[in-house]
Amino acid sequence: MTESLLFFDTDCLSAFLWVNQENLLEQLYCGRIVIPAEVYKELSIPTIPHLKAKVDLMLKNGIARKASIQTETKEYHLYRKLVTASDSGHVIIGDGEAAAIALAKVYNGILVSNNLKDILVYVHEFSLQHKTTGTILKEALEAGLITEVFGNQLWQGMLKKRRKLGFLTFSDYLKNESQ
Amino acid sequence: MIDYAGLMTKAAMLRKKLGEDSDSPIDVFALAQRIEGLSLVYYPLGENLSGMCIKGQGENNVVAINSTMTQGRQRFTLAHEFYHLYFDENMVAVCEKNLYSGKDVEKSADLFASYFLMPEAALLIMAKTLIKNSQKQQLTLEDLIHIEQYFGVSHQAIVYRLRFTPYLEQSKADLFFNVFVRSRAEFLGYSSDLYKALPIEKQYMTYGHYIKQAEQLFSKGLISTGKYEQLLLDAFRTDLVYGEEEDGDVID
């Protein structure tokens, strides 16, 4: 059975890039990582060239692939709806997260995003499979790729780069998951 | 035709309007950030342009500065754009790098910038005092460096301005115009920041209205965290999204 593709939002992908752990993504999901063009653009800001260089290397080595949304496709119409918040009661979401949601929905993939407050409504509405940075680190722990201590160090590094992880430590996250 | 006296008056009026006195050096970057409705963008605009001014509906204006230029020249360009912002009837101004060239409106903006940053009376008193102290007839290169450091303008801007005064004759001005002054300024004990461009990774930045607007959209709950970060990244504010390398405020 073909495993589902993972459609990454900027927040989650950048969290791993900032702590130099894109290799974890490679070991867990090599070839299944999809970076929407809108996310690629958000990571191509000239003031953070090192992040773009890492993404380019992932693309070059086939660890990840880039996906563009073509006009007049199903995903395009959904994407437009999300970025303009044409449904009342919904906030306008970012181009990167909207692209990741639209692509995950249409291609029956997994949405990888941390912005739970804003995207959970779509996860439920579209019955999307969903992962966060915490989920990925937990999978890395279970696969023996990291220890809990190292996971906590990465967690702190990500928090330092203002990534919104929902818990103060990786251990707190694991505790909450086991309850 | 250029109205020199009128430009001098306009420069004095704007200083007053923006809360500055009539003769002190101005931190024009900080001043721009206090102007309501103005977004200030630093961006490498290439070799031929120094800046741009785009006036929008209501108080929604953008000034862009070519961030590859030296900091002294960037300060001059910003003051030049103030002319377009406050006194030019055109809604868009795209400004060439060469000083005192092109259309009259561009020459006027350059002269305005010069008067705005270096008020006539303050400049002439300083020039006269330096000449008196050195007991020479004309300003020396060291004097010019002292003046440009005091007012925080580029070397070219100071030579252009003073060559119209009795303190710097044309032949000397021509000579000084193409002199590289950075190392001379360093040997005189000055910081050379004025003569340097920022490092490439710091040549992209946005301040002012745009950043405030994005924050308001977010705080009112109209946009998601992801959208807010996207807007900040579009404005090159990776420092606000990801923090500085060494995070944290210092209280002193």
Span A6-133 CATH architecture: 3-Layer(aba) Sandwich (3.40)
CB contact under 8 A, B226 and A45: no
pLDDT at B247 over 80: no
Query: Is the Cα dihedral B154, B25, B40, B8 positive or negative?
Result: negative
How many Cβ atoms are within 10 Å of B228's Cβ, its own excluded?
A: 22
CB contact under 8 A, B225 and A48: no
For the stretch B118-143, pLDDT in tens is: 999 999 999 999 999 888 889 999 99
The pLDDT score that the predictor gives to residue A86 is 63
For residue B132, with 0-12 CB atoms within 10 Å meaning exposed, 13-18 middle and 19 or more buried, which class applies? exposed
Measured between CA atoms, the residue of chain A closest to residue B205 is A47
In a mutational test of the A interface, the residue from B216, B219, B224, B228 whose CB has the highest number of chain A CBs within 10 Å is B224
ipTM of the complex: 0.93
Interface of A with B in 119-148 (CB under 8 A): 119
For the stretch A73-118, pLDDT in tens is: 999 999 999 998 766 678 899 999 999 999 999 999 999 999 888 8
For the stretch A121-132, pLDDT in tens is: 999 999 999 999
For the stretch A8-53, pLDDT in tens is: 999 999 999 999 999 999 999 988 999 999 999 999 999 999 999 9
In one-letter notation, the amino acid at residue B134 is: S
For the stretch B139-148, pLDDT in tens is: 999 999 999 9
Beta bridge mates, B96: B49
Give the distance from residue B188's alpha carbon to the nearest chain A alpha carbon, in angstroms. 34
Token look-up 């230029």 returns B69
Query: Is the Cα dihedral A15, B226, B228, B28 positive or negative?
Result: positive
Distance CA A127, CA A30 (A): 24
The pLDDT score that the predictor gives to residue B123 is 95
CB distance from A45 to chain B under 8 Å?
Answer: yes
Tokens of A98: 């909207």
Per-domain residue ranges for chain B?
4-119, 205-241
Average predicted confidence (pLDDT) for chain B? 91
pLDDT at B248 over 60: no
The pLDDT of B204-231, averaged and rounded, is 95
- Which of these CATH numbers, 1.10.3210, 1.10.287, 1.10.10, 1.10.3470, describes B4-119? 1.10.10
Backbone angles phi, psi at B237, to 5 degrees: -90, 60
Number of H helices, E strands in chain B: 12, 5
* Closest partner CB to A94 (pick from B202, B229, B247): B229
Tokens of B180: 């590289």
The pLDDT score that the predictor gives to residue B249 is 55
* Closest partner CB to B204 (pick from A42, A47, A160): A47
CB contact under 8 A, B225 and A160: no
The arrangement of strands across the sheet holding A64-67 comes to A64-67, A33-36, A6-8, A110-112, A129-131
The pLDDT score that the predictor gives to residue A1 is 53
Is B150:B127 a contact under the CB 8 Å cutoff?
no
Is A111:A103 a contact under the CB 8 Å cutoff?
no
Residues of chain B with Cβ-Cβ distance to A91 below 8 Å are: 221-224, 227
For the stretch B54-106, pLDDT in tens is: 999 877 999 999 999 999 999 999 999 999 999 999 889 998 888 878 888 99
Residues of chain A with Cβ-Cβ distance to B198 below 8 Å are: none
Residues of chain A with Cβ-Cβ distance to B201 below 8 Å are: 46-47, 49
Per-domain residue ranges for chain A?
6-133, 134-178
